[in-house]
Structure 1
């Protein structure tokens, strides 16, 4: 009885082995005919018992599975790149155990070719604003070809574009740990037939220039991305609300580039967010020395002084911003608002006055001062309107000022300009 059972068991495994071979043969034929989906279906039929197969069959199975998914990946099948990569890597694992290498070299070659497919697919994803998918594919491309660190850099950029902050932070920190610079040399020459300047490999350019097909070779040095990376790390920490880590990152970034005005501004804004107004003002003053012609600096100085009630300092900063950039609408609106707010601050006292001769005289004095301040605010916005005639914020604020002044003629003019 026991002998019969053993014979039946052996027969069962023999049938299973034959079935697996048939499925693998079917998959191989399907791939050769260009039907990757049929190959996948056949391989799925052999998957449940492949672990019990011999190493030669396992290696062939994983090679065909990787090939099928590599083709499906080109067609946009979700998750196919991951499956293809893991299958091709499994080929090497299996053959290392057996000491034989039949499919391993072809699997490595296909993995190498998949890098280009990943990058091309990532470019398409970025164009379609599928930033998370693009970041994952670029990172896979980097893992397949670690010498091409630029893929990791672009993976981080894609993650930022999609607002995937944690993922971007991991990639940027990896770049920082690797000491990635990103600088280099770009080789260009002018196509004689088209007149277009084209970029190419140095050796290719030399040959093309010698052939006479190209002329005017130019070598352009691309800047280092080190500062950008540490800056982005700091910005992401800020975005994630990790203020202490962000301050450490800013110190690191500024140590690399102490004169980068954007770094100073970003650090200043972080201190402002944390409630340290004095540190904010000190950094803004430092930034003003580094970039005395940056209108954003003076606008931000104006904002903080306005919030702290330092009206004259706020006006001075806003005026400097407008002097640098005459079309700086936000600075013009805020400068006008300083006069309107000062005028409004007189209203409480006006309303508290009685009907005595002295109170009436005081009321008239305050009203004249208020109206004068309102008119100063209106003059600023009338000048702004000349450069930005369709700006609704300017039109609305100016209309409100004329309404408060009781200037019906100008009120109706602004109402008409607003399209009301």
Structure 2
């Protein structure tokens, strides 16, 4: 009785094997006839029992399945890329384990083709602003061909462009883990027929130069992308509200590229967000030392000093910004405001005085000083009007100052300029 059971089991397994082979053959025939959909149906019908087949049949199955899904992907089915890649990888794994090599070489070639199709599809997705899909495809291309680390870099860039920051962060961290540098050499030459400069690989470029169809070869070095990657990592941490990690990333980035002004500004802005305005000023001073002719840097330092009540320091910064850019309207407005704010502080003191002779004398002294500050603030805006005669912000602030001073003549003049 035991023998009969054993024979029945063996016959059963043999019949399953025949069924799998037939399904694979049907799938291969349908694929050859150009009917990838029918081929997919046939190959997937064998999926449930393929794990029980021998290694030779498993390799054949996954090789065929990979070809079917690669064909579907080439025809525009984006969901087919992953099963195609996974199937060819399965072929390599099975044959490596078994020591046989019937399908591995062709599977490797197909994987390279799938990778190229993925990249082309990702380029199209990026053009259509389908950044998330593009990032996934580029990352899959990298996993198919880990030596092509540039795909991982562009996957991160696509994720950033689409605002998918956590995905981008994963890719950037992976780039740092593998020590990605991104520097290299781009080989260019000018097409004699068109006069346009073109990029190609070195061997092709050198051959074209020898043939005389191209001229003026150029070997252009591309800079390392390490600093950019660390900087973007820090920006993403900031975007995600992970400020401590962002600060650590900025330290790493600045150690790698201490003279990157934008990097300093991004770190300064984070400290400003955290309320550490002294550190903000310190970093802004570093940035100014590196880019002394940038008016925005001086202006921003002026803003912080004005907020902290350091009017003289603020004025120096605003004046420097105006010196560099004579049309810097906001610098004029804020410079004027430093005098107005200082004058307003005197009004509070004036109102606190009594009616004694000493208080009246003190009141007159403070009023003269206040009027002088308001006049200086007004004169700055009058100068600004010479280059910005129709600026509504300047005119409105100037009208308010003359109104506070009781200068009715100038008040009405500015009011008329405002069209009121």
Does the C-alpha gap of structure 1 residues 211 and 101 become closer, same or farther in structure 2, counting only changes over 3 Å? Answer: closer
2:392 to 395, 398, 405: 395
Matches within 5 A, 1:272-351: 272-342=272-342, 345=345
Q: CA deviation at 1:262?
A: 2.5
Contact 1:138 1:154 (8 Å CA) reproduced: yes
Output one character per residue of 1:276-335: Cα deviation in whole Å (capped at 9) or x when no partner.
333332232232222222223212211211221112211221221232234445444543
Contact 2:189 2:214 (8 Å CA) reproduced: yes
Q: CA deviation at 1:110?
A: 0.4
Contact 1:343 1:373 (8 Å CA) reproduced: no
Tell whether 2:375 aligns with 1:385: no
Paired position in structure 2 for 1:375: 378
Paired position in structure 1 for 2:407: none
Q: CA deviation at 1:89?
A: 0.9
Structure 2: distance between partners of 1:378 and 1:270: 33
Q: CA deviation at 1:188?
A: 1.8
Paired position in structure 1 for 2:408: none
Does the C-alpha gap of structure 1 residues 12 and 147 become closer, same or farther in structure 2, counting only changes over 3 Å? Answer: closer
**Coordinate RMSD, CA, aligned:** 3.5
Contact 2:327 2:388 (8 Å CA) reproduced: no
Tell whether 2:268 aligns with 1:271: no
Paired position in structure 2 for 1:61: 61
Does the C-alpha gap of structure 1 residues 33 and 344 become closer, same or farther in structure 2, counting only changes over 3 Å? Answer: farther
Structure 1: distance between partners of 2:240 and 2:169: 10
Tell whether 2:226 aligns with 1:230: no
Q: CA deviation at 1:132?
A: 2.3
Contact 2:181 2:225 (8 Å CA) reproduced: yes
Q: CA deviation at 1:111?
A: 0.6
Q: CA deviation at 1:239?
A: 2.9
SS at match of 1:181: coil
Structure 1: distance between partners of 2:185 and 2:75: 35
Paired position in structure 1 for 2:23: 23
Does the C-alpha gap of structure 1 residues 13 and 328 become closer, same or farther in structure 2, counting only changes over 3 Å? Answer: farther
- My pick for the range that moved more, 403-412 or 259-268, is 403-412
Contact 2:233 2:246 (8 Å CA) reproduced: yes
Paired position in structure 1 for 2:138: 138
Output one character per residue of 1:195-220: Cα deviation in whole Å (capped at 9) or x when no partner.
11222222222222222222222222
Structure 1: distance between partners of 2:290 and 2:81: 48
Matches within 5 A, 1:5-20: 16-20=16-20
- My pick for the range that moved more, 258-267 or 197-206, is 258-267
Matches within 5 A, 1:22-101: 22-101=22-101
Structure 2: distance between partners of 1:197 and 1:370: 62
Output one character per residue of 1:212-236: Cα deviation in whole Å (capped at 9) or x when no partner.
2222222222222222222223333
Does the C-alpha gap of structure 1 residues 239 and 104 become closer, same or farther in structure 2, counting only changes over 3 Å? Answer: same
Contact 1:268 1:284 (8 Å CA) reproduced: yes
Does the C-alpha gap of structure 1 residues 335 and 22 become closer, same or farther in structure 2, counting only changes over 3 Å? Answer: farther
Contact 2:39 2:68 (8 Å CA) reproduced: yes
Structure 1: distance between partners of 2:339 and 2:33: 79
SS at match of 1:265: helix
SS at match of 1:79: helix
Q: CA deviation at 1:403?
A: 5.9
SS at match of 2:275: coil
Contact 1:336 1:380 (8 Å CA) reproduced: no
Tell whether 2:160 aligns with 1:160: yes
Structure 2: distance between partners of 1:185 and 1:15: 59
- My pick for the range that moved more, 105-114 or 341-350, is 341-350
Contact 1:329 1:384 (8 Å CA) reproduced: no
SS at match of 2:190: strand
Contact 1:295 1:321 (8 Å CA) reproduced: yes
Structure 1: distance between partners of 2:151 and 2:54: 38
SS at match of 2:388: helix
Structure 2: distance between partners of 1:252 and 1:80: 40
Contact 1:350 1:367 (8 Å CA) reproduced: no
Output one character per residue of 1:231-289: Cα deviation in whole Å (capped at 9) or x when no partner.
22333333333333333333332223322223333333333333333333223223222
SS at match of 2:220: strand
Contact 2:336 2:376 (8 Å CA) reproduced: no
Paired position in structure 1 for 2:148: 148
Matches within 5 A, 1:133-282: 133-282=133-282
Structure 1: distance between partners of 2:412 and 2:142: 67
TM-score (norm 1): 0.83
Q: CA deviation at 1:369?
A: 4.8
Output one character per residue of 1:149-203: Cα deviation in whole Å (capped at 9) or x when no partner.
2222222222222233333233223323333222222222222221112222222
TM-score (norm 2): 0.83
